[in-house]
Amino acid sequence: MKTKLRAGGIVAMAAALALVVAGCGDDDNGGADPTPTPDETTAVDPTPEPDETDPPAVDRDPVTVTWWHNGVGEPLYSFWQGIADEFVAANPHVTVNIEAIQNETLRNDVLPTAFQGGNAPDLFQSWGGGELADWHAEGLVMNLSNVIPDTVAHIGAVGNSWAIDGAAYGLPFTFGPSGFWVNTEVWESAGLDSNNFPATLDELFEAWNAIADAGYAPVALGGQSGWPVGHWWYWSAVKTCSSAALLAASNNHDWSDPCWVQAGENMDGILTSVNGGVPFNQGWLATSAQEGATSASGLVVTGMAAMQLMGVWDIGVMGGIYNEANDLPSDTLPPAFLSWFPFPNIPGGGGDANLMGGGDGFSVHTDAPVEAAELLAFILSDSVQQRYAAMDNIPTNPNAFGSIPAGSANLLPLAALENAGFVQLWLDAAYGGQIGTPMNNAITAFIGGQGTPQDVVDAIVNAAG
């Protein structure tokens, strides 16, 4: 059977905020109900909230649930541990063993090795799209629509990037577009207006040159981590190509539209935009993305660089780095000088209405105890998602949107989603590992000065077979 991916739909937001979310997917499946009728698997009720007083079931056999996530930094590390403790308190027959693993290591090394070795965790980080489709094809992930259908239905269309043939094989706990996270103190030190961010690529180049003239790195880039480099080319493609061309690539592996080569040519302009050179920090190829004060996220929040192109989760990462550097409590909200704006439009491009985004989620191994799915339902419950949002994160449970702090910079990407005509899932997630890894390698080589725009497209086409 052909595997079909969907990542489109309308997501109801707080205060009547409507998000048009579209990504990789077959057109005939884009409006389907993501929750199928349960089959032979018995649906279970989501785990009760921790403040409910009903006694836990005493006749369930003891089980251990292993949970691997990428929340290695504070406050997320302690938050997830607290959630596991609450779940165990409500379900005394369960033991939850957590392991926090750095994102790239988990995604590229640890999970694939565990899958191949037959010792996969029960609950694990999941990014949706083609990567999840690969796991599904290998029989590695549980059909959650049969096990926690109420949670799947409540999360709704924002979970469509984790749906395959109409069923959920993972669920996101956060979702939003990437864009530029800005240190407005650095921005204003360069004589720029933090209430008037660039709307076009030429305006962005002007701002970068002003920042460089003021003695700061215009952009922090974690080249050591690989995928942040890829996102620059992705964004050039998303703003150069029409939504039809983006869907043809995701759905049909068709990269014949000239816009894909043009995306690389537009990248050439970015790479020579600051005094004839790159806008990135010195040593960007050896800089990590999000690990500590010397990472790209650290350079922005400590005032060494003006901005970073990154996903919505990065405000939490930067906040954690800032709190540690300033000996602040780990649950202190991110500093108010952080702001956000979307990737500007490219003159002559076909993607002015396009955004690119994605999120973090979890999948459950097909052989996991049902308690792993119940834990995921608890993670996505109102109570947990409201507390997650109160930490200045974007949740996926619509009942938690109102818990994002007033004045949060995260309200800006939500507003951008409201106005988007099309939202493309991260290209490496949309295409899957077979294509994503060679694509990212070719992009890194190109941005590092090796190769041409055509070489990147050729690498993608060759990887797709």
Tell me whether residue 20 is in a domain: no
pLDDT at 271 exceeding the cut of 80: yes
Instruction: State the DSSP string of 166-200.
Output: TEES-EEEEEEE-EEEEEHHHHHHTT--TTS--SB
Range of 265's domain? Answer: 179-358+412-464
Percent of the chain whose pLDDT exceeds 90: 69
The CATH number assigned to the domain holding 185 equals 3.40.190.10
Number of domains in the chain: 2
Regarding whether 335 and 236 lie in a shared domain, the answer is yes
Same domain, 105 and 45: yes
The pLDDT tens digits of the residues spanning 195-233 come to 999 999 999 999 999 999 999 999 999 988 888 999 999
Tell me, yes or no, whether 168 and 183 share the same domain: no
Please give the order of strands across the beta sheet that includes 338-341.
217-219, 305-310, 179-183, 338-341
Pair 254, 328 in one domain = yes
Q: Select the highest-mean-pLDDT range: 67-76, 346-355, 454-463.
A: 454-463
For residues 122-144, give the mean pLDDT.
Answer: 95
Per-residue pLDDT, averaged over 92-112, amounts to 94
> Residue 111: what pLDDT?
96
Residue 30 has pLDDT above 50, yes or no: no
Per the domain annotation, does 3 fall within a domain?
A: no
More confident residue, 23 or 185: 185
CA gyration radius, the chain = 21
Between CA 423 and CA 428 the distance in angstroms is 14
What would the mean pLDDT of 5-11 be, rounded to a whole number?
Answer: 31
pLDDT at residue 58, rounded to an integer: 52
User: Which element (helix H / strand E) includes 444?
Assistant: helix 433-447
- Domain-located, residue 4: no
Q: Identify whether residues 45 and 124 lie together within a single domain.
A: yes
Predicted local distance difference test score (pLDDT) of residue 60: 83
Which residue among 382, 403, 424 closes a domain? 403
Q: Where are the beta strands (DSSP E) in 5-115?
A: 5-6, 9-13, 17-21, 63-69, 94-100
Same domain? For 96 and 228 the reply is no
Place of tokens 């009547």: 16
Same domain, 417 and 432: yes
Both 168 and 184 in one domain: the answer is: no
Can you say how many angstroms the Cα of residue 285 is from the centroid of all Cα atoms in its chain?
22
Per-residue pLDDT tens for 437-447? 899 999 989 99
**Do 334 and 364 sit in the same domain of this protein?**
no
pLDDT band at 431 (very low <50, low <70, confident <90, very high): very high
The pLDDT of 27-55, averaged and rounded, is 39
In a domain, 74, yes or no: yes
- Please tell me the distance from the alpha carbon of residue 443 to that of residue 237, in angstroms, as a whole number: 12
- pLDDT of 130 > 90? The answer is no
Question: Would residue 15 count as lying in a domain?
Answer: no
> Residue 6: its pLDDT value, please?
30
In a domain, 132, yes or no: yes
Q: Are 391 and 333 in contact (CB under 8 A)?
A: yes
Please state the pTM of the whole predicted model. 0.75
**pLDDT band with cut points at 50, 70 and 90 for residue 383:** very high
Q: What is the pLDDT of residues 272-309, one digit of tens each?
A: 999 889 999 999 999 999 889 999 999 999 999 999 99
Q: Which pLDDT band holds residue 29 (cuts at 50, 70, 90)?
A: very low
DSSP class of 364: E
* Same domain as 383, residue 450: no
Alpha-carbon gap, residue 331 to 413, rounded angstroms: 22
Amino acid at 354: N
- pLDDT tens by residue, 353-364: 999 998 899 999
Structure tokens at 295: 């990472």
117 and 96 assigned to the same domain: yes
Quick one: 385 and 351 in the same domain?
no
- Average per-residue pLDDT in the chain? 86
